Structure 1
Amino acid sequence: MNERNDNPLYKYIVQDPEAFAQNLARFIEEGGKAVAAYIEPREKGEARTRVADDIAEVMKTIGQISEYWLSDPQRAVEAQARLWSGYMDLWDQSLRRMMGERSRPAAEPDQRDRRFRDPEWSENQFFDFLKQAYLITTRWADSLVEGADGLDGHTRQKAAFYIRQIANAISPSNFVLTNPELLRETVSSNGENLVRGMKMLAEDIREGKGDLKLRQTDTTKFKVGENLAVTPGKVIAENALRQLIQYSPTTETVRKRPLLIVPPWINKYYILDLNPEKSLVKWLVDQGHTVFMVSWVDPGAELAEKTFEDYMREGILASLDDIEKATGESGVDVTGYCVGGTLLAVALAHMANAGDSRIKTASFLTAQTDFSHAGDLKVFVDDRQLEILETRINERGYLDGSVMARTFNMLRSNDLLWPYVINNYMRGKEPFPFDLLFWNSDSTRMPAANHIFYMRRFYLENAFAKGQLSIDGEPLRLKKIRVPAYHLATREDHIAPAKSVFTGAAMFGGPVRMVVAGSGHIAGVCNAPVLGKYQYWTGPAPSGAFEDWIANAKEHPGSWWPDWDAWLKKHDSEMVPARVPGERVGVIEDAPGRYVMTKAA
């Protein structure tokens, strides 16, 4: 028995063939349920297969890369020779290792690549060979995109993105027979993990009404208003698009000037109020701010015609009116997060044209106004793809939030997609409860008119930065925004890249404080001082190249929140007695309110 255990192959051999066969039968049975969950909504006309257009777009783009290399026989031969050279080097090193000689890896993964951390990827020659062959092949494919001359920037970006998605999908870490950890687990459990995984897959397809709704956390452990979004406050106003929350003070005195936060409508606002430890809202209240929060509605087809301008008027401008009624103050500090910041910039440019000076300072958290460097989301934005999107979105009157969730997952598929596929459907394990991922799954729809306008006019045409947007016949100019502005970018942001935020901030006409935080779009923003994580950089007003600015910026440990708080108080330090929410205007309901509780159907 000990000899068998000492054999390195023993852990990959099924020890109970009868149990394995029974589980294989159960696996096939559960697979039939998954297929049925996929087919049934399509037979009833409740779901439609949309992959043809997507595949056509991918093949067309990759075809342009192939055309470049195949159009010249010498180029094609040289490209093939580079690939075969990598394979021959791998073969040579593998033979040396097999014969007991010293060898070196022909290809090694990036140290940050978590897919190949199991020791067997290096210690077992079979799995090591698979890993290196995969790395050689995918890096060669990347080089074909980089080396294809004559491509426009958008096509090259799309091709690089599609190649990366294909490479991530075919990784040997994603398959039972080529992943040592998965194979060991399958053998040791006699395939029980695969049965559990297929059962979960069927459940998730059924939950997605025919599409896979990937579970990234245990959603039963969280409930909005009970252990999420629990900072005390009152809803003091509402209209068709938003509720306005005023939070209860925790200090005897507060800043005279109120603070309004405008979150993105792509997700629900409570990312800024996840729990007491990580809540930006609670922290601001504790620093003596009177905080108001916009809580956007989860729109249905009845709001299909609501435009970007409607969001500005019924969101920001209406909230300024309501805040004045609630506090008696006409001057307000306003903060916009992500697309909420883009909306805020549009509102400021419009207000500058109208002579409306109610916004005294503006803060932009990972918000883009110049979309020249908007990152991989631009992969999905060109005339053809927007035409397809418009057709799909107009059928319902809104874009389902799950579409954007899948898109964001694809931007970081090796972190947000494939690890959950492996954990859920191959290991058969429930994901851990994680409040951030619960929020991420709590998707929100977007009205057709608003979303189409946003994607076309901002991402495709970059019309705002070019001065080609107008409201009431007046062009909107970033240079006319002269209120003090605080711009936060995050260094690893894959949604609003730091360079994109920086170039937009440089176009403002007033004093700008530029800050770059460590981490990404969510963790870099929601980084409470008590956590003691990451860092942030400060420097002069943005100008020139972002790379030069960040290279000369001053690094500070910890959260950027105290820096922002000090900046806000520098522009208004007058204190008044703490305000009771709704005291002057009445209360509609307790925070977090009905709108955020609505679950997209």
Structure 2
Amino acid sequence: MKVPMKDNVTPAISAEEHARRTATQFDSRLHAALAKASSGLSPISLALAGMDWALHLASQPAQVARLATAAQQSALHWWADTLHNRPEDDNDPRFLHPGWKHWPWAPVVHAYHEAEAWWDDATRLRGMEPHHQEMARFYARQWLDMLSPSNTGLWGNPEVRERTRETLGSNLVNGWINALDNWRQQHGLAPVRPSEHEYRPGRDVAITPGRVVHRNHLTELLQFSPTTASVQREPVFIVPSWIMKYYILDLSPQNSFVKWLTDQGHTVFILSWRNPDETDALLDMADYLHEGVFDNLAAIKALVPDAEAVHACGYCLGGTLLSIAAAALSRPGQIEQAHLLPALKTVTLLAAETDFTEPGEMGVLIDESQVSLLEDMMAERGFLSGPQMGGAFQYLHSRELVWSQALRELWLGENEHPNDLMAWNSDTTRMPAVMHSEYLRRCYLRNELAEGRFPVEGRAVSLADIRVPMFVVGTEKDHVSPWKSVYKIHRLADTEITFVLTSGGHNAGIVSEPGHPNRHYAMLTRPADGPWLTCGDWQAQAMPQDGSWWTAWHQWLIGHGSGTVPGRLPLEDEALGPAPGHYVHQHYLD
């Protein structure tokens, strides 16, 4: 375990090296200070993308002429449609109110959509660096989202005007109260009005009965009490992402993944990650791998001696970590203490990337300059704070999380009514500086896992070594782990892979309990060493089905299991305590 300690004796360094380190430290602190003004975004990355776009635009006069002509034609079409009062087929959720369909608002919305289409075309210039092209499109979309007619409030939004007439202006008063509450929260003051319903772990969510059965510096291992007389011989071991509290998979009883699995006759273990602080600055990926996966697998082997193997499951970054562990355990002699660990019967990856060449929207904000800026920010306190991480996601989805929310709260005077998933989403966690830097560089920037260069105990691991069956889930609307990126596991592992594409997004697609309306999924199994199928070929051959993928996974686990045993009660240790444990309650002021 690494902790940020200083040796009593500092090795002598040359004057030149001392000057270099001093200069680096000064620049790092300067960058960290400037990052507060740029919301943690690298102005250098933005400037490089803008320069790349501008130079390529200047060097392509024919494209400039084409874009100018396209703008003129768009303006003429807009004028003709306005004169003839042709309605626009608009499914944009920002303009669903009937008032946007009539003059003078309809022409404004039409012009706005024409501008969106034009800028999307204008940022696709031949010769640009792909990353810069993605950034140019992204930032153009961000500016257009900010300039949306829906953000004009009382003066230009027909929905706000109608609400103001109906309520005699009380919506504006409520909006002012909401704005004051937001200001107080941002400055560390208690909100004026408490939320209508707070979802607290152990009281409203994370209430599936169980015990903490093992604890180390980084994790608590929870085992849940059986609800059936007999259970499957192989327990299920779940590794959630370290950037989230584990109870995303144990929300309210009606949509708890953990409770549902327990009710189906599975012995369920899950990790609860510690929320790191300043003392954990030097924790790295090796620490997360050993204390998060290997140490807890050893604990499961000791706690459940009648099970020779486990069904291992990883969600999001937890799935990436689990895939590294599975690859290491699949190669004889890779892990020194492998004899203390149970075998992996199967491996399940939920919305987890193993190839980061197409990482979705997160990739827009990740390059060498941005990672360096993050490192400078983390060097101040030894971690990336929850609000800083949350701000990045908020920026990526500013249309829904900033502008539309501001419209509802400030202009329509509506109060947000959080559900259990929204409450979990605001329960932020931190990331140690060294680990987060290593993760971003090794996975996003260098793609070491996919290329067989990610080191574990001094040797690179390869996903091609995995031989146990895999169950991999992607979600249709995932902006964090796009399903086509998740699908690339087919190129990396030669084992039997059952791939599922389910409706929903990164969270709602996984938390998809049976009985939830309008859910569907498609599933297809590729045998070990089977032929490569493109994403399109897979979709053409996969069997579409209504309902939740949970039931399909349950049947898959039974099919790859070895029968049942009497239900297993978790070990009661008063020093460890009941579920949901201690770590899930950790909150630090950022």
In which range does the TM-score fall when normalised by the shorter chain? 0.7 to 0.9
The structure-2 alpha-carbon separation of the partners of 1:391 and 1:242, relative to structure 1 and needing over 3 Å to count, comes to same
Shift of 1:163: 1.4
Q: TM-score scaled to structure 2, two decimals?
A: 0.87
Aligned counterpart, 1:598:
586
Out of 139, 146, 157, which is 1:179 matched to? 157
The structure-2 alpha-carbon separation of the partners of 1:282 and 1:269, relative to structure 1 and needing over 3 Å to count, comes to same
Out of 109, 115, 128, which is 1:131 matched to? 109
Out of 208, 211, 218, which is 1:234 matched to? 211
Aligned counterpart, 1:67:
55
Give the letter aligned to residue 446 of structure 2.
Answer: E
Matches within 5 A, 1:107-146: 108-109=89-90, 111=91, 113-123=92-102, 125-146=103-124
Give the letter aligned to residue 78 of structure 2.
Answer: L
Q: State the distance in 2 between where 1:57 and 1:166 align.
A: 17
Q: State the distance in 2 between where 1:335 and 1:73 align.
A: 54
Q: State the distance in 2 between where 1:467 and 1:573 align.
A: 32
Matches within 5 A, 1:26-65: 48-51=36-39, 54-55=42-43, 57-65=45-53
Shift of 1:320: 0.9
SS state of the match for residue 515, structure 2? helix
Aligned counterpart, 1:208:
186
Q: State the distance in 2 between where 1:53 and 1:420 align.
A: 22
Give the letter aligned to residue 206 of structure 1.
Answer: R
Aligned counterpart, 1:520:
505
SS state of the match for residue 270, structure 2? strand
Q: State the distance in 1 between where 2:521 and 2:501 align.
A: 5
Mean alpha-carbon deviation: is it higher for 310-319 or for 179-188?
179-188
SS state of the match for residue 589, structure 1? coil
Aligned counterpart, 2:3:
none
Out of 540, 548, 561, which is 1:551 matched to? 540
Q: How many residues align?
A: 543
Give the letter aligned to residue 53 of structure 2.
Answer: I
Contact 2:181 2:191 in 1 (8 A): no
Pairing 1:81–2:69 present: yes
Out of 219, 233, 241, which is 1:256 matched to? 233
Q: State the distance in 1 between where 2:446 and 2:533 align.
A: 23
Shift of 1:192: 4.0
CA distances 1:28-64 after superposition (whole Å, capped 9, x unpaired): xxxxxxxxxxxxxxxxx9x943348545543442343
Q: State the distance in 2 between where 1:197 and 1:58 align.
A: 34
Pairing 1:351–2:339 present: no
CA distances 1:319-340 after superposition (whole Å, capped 9, x unpaired): 1111122221342111000000
Shift of 1:187: 4.7
The structure-2 alpha-carbon separation of the partners of 1:51 and 1:198, relative to structure 1 and needing over 3 Å to count, comes to same
CA distances 1:79-126 after superposition (whole Å, capped 9, x unpaired): 2232132123222332x34xxxxx435x653x2x21111111112x11
Shift of 1:416: 3.3
CA distances 1:332-354 after superposition (whole Å, capped 9, x unpaired): 11100000000001111222234
SS state of the match for residue 492, structure 2? coil
Shift of 1:229: 0.8
Matches within 5 A, 1:439-454: 439-454=424-439
Q: State the distance in 1 between where 2:378 and 2:218 align.
A: 19
Mean alpha-carbon deviation: is it higher for 332-341 or for 164-173?
164-173
Give the letter aligned to residue 204 of structure 1.
Answer: N
Contact 1:172 1:179 in 2 (8 A): yes
Q: State the distance in 2 between where 1:152 and 1:340 align.
A: 31
Give the letter aligned to residue 476 of structure 2.
Answer: R
CA distances 1:418-453 after superposition (whole Å, capped 9, x unpaired): 221111122222111311111111111111111111
Q: State the distance in 1 between where 2:346 and 2:149 align.
A: 52
Contact 1:488 1:515 in 2 (8 A): yes
Pairing 1:322–2:299 present: yes
Out of 294, 312, 319, which is 1:341 matched to? 319
Aligned counterpart, 1:104:
86
The structure-2 alpha-carbon separation of the partners of 1:304 and 1:332, relative to structure 1 and needing over 3 Å to count, comes to same
Shift of 1:75: 3.6
Shift of 1:246: 0.6
SS state of the match for residue 241, structure 2? coil
SS state of the match for residue 123, structure 2? helix
The structure-2 alpha-carbon separation of the partners of 1:450 and 1:249, relative to structure 1 and needing over 3 Å to count, comes to same
Give the letter aligned to residue 324 of structure 2.
Answer: V
SS state of the match for residue 548, structure 2? coil
Contact 2:44 2:369 in 1 (8 A): no
CA distances 1:238-293 after superposition (whole Å, capped 9, x unpaired): 11111011101101111121111100011111011111110110010011111011
Structure 1: runs of 5+ lacking an equivalent = 1-44, 98-102
CA RMSD of aligned residues (A): 2.5
Contact 1:532 1:559 in 2 (8 A): no
Aligned counterpart, 2:133:
156
Contact 2:42 2:373 in 1 (8 A): no
CA distances 1:376-413 after superposition (whole Å, capped 9, x unpaired): 11111111111111111121111112222232233333
Give the letter aligned to residue 129 of structure 1.
Answer: P
Pairing 1:274–2:251 present: yes
Contact 1:378 1:460 in 2 (8 A): no
CA distances 1:461-509 after superposition (whole Å, capped 9, x unpaired): 1111011111222111010111111111112111111111111243113
Out of 415, 424, 430, which is 2:415 matched to? 430
Contact 1:108 1:135 in 2 (8 A): no
Mean alpha-carbon deviation: is it higher for 154-163 or for 355-364?
355-364
Q: State the distance in 2 between where 1:265 and 1:389 align.
A: 18
Pairing 1:286–2:275 present: no
SS state of the match for residue 486, structure 1? strand
Contact 1:273 1:280 in 2 (8 A): yes
% same residue: 35
Structure 2: runs of 5+ lacking an equivalent = 1-32
Q: State the distance in 1 between where 2:407 and 2:183 align.
A: 16
Q: State the distance in 1 between where 2:348 and 2:365 align.
A: 28
